[in-house]
Amino acid sequence: MINRRNLLQSGVGAGLVLGASGMLPAWARSASEGNLGIPALAGKDFDLSISSFPVRINGKAGMATGINGSVPGPLVRFREGDDISVNVTNMLMEDTSIHWHGLLVPFQMDGVPGIAFPGIKPGETFNYKWNLAQNGTYWYHSHSGLQEQLGHYGPLIIDPKDADPVAYDREYVLVLSDWSFESPHRIFSKLKKAGPTYNYQQRTLGDFFEDVSEKGFGQTLQDRAMWNQMRMSQTDWADVTAATYTYLINGRSTQDNWDAVFAPGERVRLRIINGSAMSIFNFRIPGLAMTVVASDGLNVKPVETDEFQIGVAETYDVIVEPKEARAFAMVAESIDRSGQVVATLAPRKGMRAAPPEMREPVLLTMKDMGMGGMDHGAMSDMPNMDPAPMPGMDGMDHSMMPGMDHSAMPGMEGMDHGAMPGMEHGGMSGMEPMGSMDNLAPGVERGPGVVGIAMNPVNRLDEPGQGLGNVDHRVLRYSQLRSLDRNPDLRAPEREIELHLTSNMERYMWSFDGVRFAHIKEPIKFYKGERLRLTMINDTMMPHPIHLHGMFFDVVNGGNDHKPRKHTIIVKPGEKLSVDISAEHVGDWAFHCHLLYHMHAGMMQVVSVLDEPNPHASPMPDMMKTGGMNMEGMEMEGMDHSKMDHSGMSGMDMPNMNTGENK
């Protein structure tokens, strides 16, 4: 598979010379440079070369590591069903790799060193080959070291074999990213030494007095005391911020202004890819509504919105129809609001949209601390704290279903763990995350790497992107997404895996279930052909874009047989959400938080899809008999965590709650 070449004699050398000028690929070149759309670099055979080269960003010279001499790398575009061959040549002094993000390639072509292949050594060329039955907007990037931070990423489009259900007159790719002139290893080591080092939005004495004049001394003191007592910061939105980052759209800062043109009345398709190392963005085009038509490469039923949050590695395709002949600002604002990047969508080349003023940063809430619903004041205000008004719960009582097995009833998990724990703790004394909370998460290895377990995680799929609750326009919610196509696998999950996202910000330790990747005892095992539910609980104070290679997540958001299918999903702080997965592709697959330094600190695992008899195979029928429940008729959707959202146990009134008993 790997063959050595004499690089100087190959065409790659020429590409490097070109790259040395820091030239952008044609598709990322501004309209002002003559690019009116995306040149279709369609083909079946691609040559990519990875090297280090100088770039100029915001007028300042830096060194990038990237593909074919540009940041981002070239648009790789091919047709669904074609036999594709990509030669990747490593011209670096260290190993490299390319992972095809969201592509369901054979696992040995997935490009993760140490998991899917050995990596590409200096001077070597690796030949990737595949033939895919999927289409849409994707991207590709290095999975070696911290190369992603240095510019080693690019967009990828698979054109549909048949007619595209999305009609458009013109299209652009927007790769959002974060650039730093600091070395990524330096950034990582600074985070290890002093976690909040890049946070210049911390609470100050001035904020304290402001709060006092607003809320009074007692309330302010009480609020501050709660966070400070727990050694948590209400401003912990992002580990790495605009203090070191220059945010980019297609390799351009606001100053460098990437611009695209449109003719009024045209339907313009924007394929937006978050290729950042660490930055979750809020994307909007003030004055222009966006119709979301695809997410993570797969078509969704069109939904109109004004803003959406896009996690690292997520993609959204939107259609905009600008009618006025004026310049529109395409704004990607980092989640912590420390910075933004603006590109221009205009009727003529060379125009520059006026960047909107930066919005005020907001503060994290009690819900982000894993105490959903507890931020409304006194405990007595909270209906979910009192078991009495929840008759539906009786049906869920384990004692009444002796034969009931957790693993067999994925849909029910949310009932006893997710929604209820808060009830067991009468007073605010239960705030200390350490202590008697161990029973909340028996699967989590407690130790210096785990500060706490979310006491009352809630489903937040029906909330807008974190921090966007108070903007005065529409914001996309995951619960709004519906797959355009009916889901390919409609089986109910046979078992559930519960996974906690855990951390200690102070030591900059990040992990799954309290175990850093370096210390795992075994991978997560899936068995070929099984359908399972993965429930993730975010015990940390930060949102994590979680990505599983080789499989899509069917997001359990109330979408029945049209659940949106995603390769990457943001799990908000204090959230408990579920995705269903069909384990089809045998192999070892990487599974990790797509925030680069979280992955580097240990928030990663391997999912091994094994071609072995499934030891968990169908306990379902037995249980149905024992419990006297008609599982067939029991609509799992009724149990969706998405409907159990927020503070109030509104989900408790759901008629479906009782179905198990009544049917």
Choices 106-114, 149-157, 291-299, 453-461; region in contact with other proteins by CB under 8 A: 106-114
201 binds other proteins (CB under 8 A): yes
514 binds other proteins (CB under 8 A): no
608 binds other proteins (CB under 8 A): yes
Give backbone dihedrals phi and psi of 111, rounded to 5 degrees, phi first.
80, 25
336 binds other proteins (CB under 8 A): no
For 389-414, give the secondary structure using H, E and C.
Answer: CCHHHHHHCHHHCCCCCHHHCHHHHH
Q: Please return the burial class of 639, using the count of CB atoms within 10 Å of its CB with bins 0-12, 13-18 and 19+.
A: buried
Out of 78, 100, 117, 527, the residue judged to bind other proteins by CB under 8 A: 117
129 binds other proteins (CB under 8 A): no
Q: C-alpha angle with apex 595: 57 to 447, nearest 5 degrees?
A: 140
122 binds other proteins (CB under 8 A): no
Nearer to other proteins, 221 or 423 (CB): 221
Choices 20-28, 67-75, 287-295, 516-524; region in contact with other proteins by CB under 8 A: 516-524
Out of 335, 541, 606, 636, the residue judged to bind other proteins by CB under 8 A: 606
Q: Side chain identity at 653, as an amino acid letter?
A: D
Nearer to other proteins, 524 or 555 (CB): 524
3-state secondary structure (DSSP) of residue 606: strand
The CA distance from 125 to 285, in Å, is 41
* Contact string 245-284 vs other proteins (x = CB under 8 A): ----------------------------------------
- Give, as one character, the DSSP assignment of residue 286: T
455 binds other proteins (CB under 8 A): no
Give backbone dihedrals phi and psi of 342, rounded to 5 degrees, phi first.
-125, 130
112 binds other proteins (CB under 8 A): yes
Q: Where are the beta strands (DSSP E) in 347-486?
A: none
3-state secondary structure (DSSP) of residue 109: helix
The number of residues that bind other proteins (CB under 8 A) is: 60
Largest pairwise CA distance in the chain: 78
17 binds other proteins (CB under 8 A): no
Choices 80-88, 113-121, 258-266, 340-348; region in contact with other proteins by CB under 8 A: 113-121
Nearer to other proteins, 1 or 14 (CB): 1
In this structure, the number of other CB atoms found within 10 A of the CB of residue 389 comes to 12
Of 458, 587, 476, give the one whose Cα is nearest residue 535.
458
Choices 54-62, 149-157, 202-210, 467-475; region in contact with other proteins by CB under 8 A: 202-210
Of 598, 602, 611, 548, give the one whose Cα is nearest residue 110.
548
Yes or no: say if 574 and 458 are a contact pair by the CB < 8 Å rule.
yes
Choices 56-64, 473-481, 510-518, 573-581; region in contact with other proteins by CB under 8 A: 510-518
Out of 476, 601, 634, 636, the residue judged to bind other proteins by CB under 8 A: 601
Yes or no: say if 238 and 278 are a contact pair by the CB < 8 Å rule.
yes
370 binds other proteins (CB under 8 A): no
Nearer to other proteins, 473 or 519 (CB): 519
Nearer to other proteins, 133 or 205 (CB): 205
Query: Distance from CA of residue 151 to its chain's centroid?
Result: 19
In order of 225, 374, 396, the CA distances from 462 in angstroms are 30, 18, 24
Yes or no: say if 336 and 361 are a contact pair by the CB < 8 Å rule.
yes
Out of 63, 225, 354, 358, the residue judged to bind other proteins by CB under 8 A: 225
650 binds other proteins (CB under 8 A): no
Binding residues for other proteins (CB under 8 A): 1, 107-108, 112-119, 145, 189-190, 192-194, 197, 200-206, 225, 228-231, 434, 447-451, 504, 506-507, 509-511, 516-523, 586-588, 599-602, 604, 606, 608
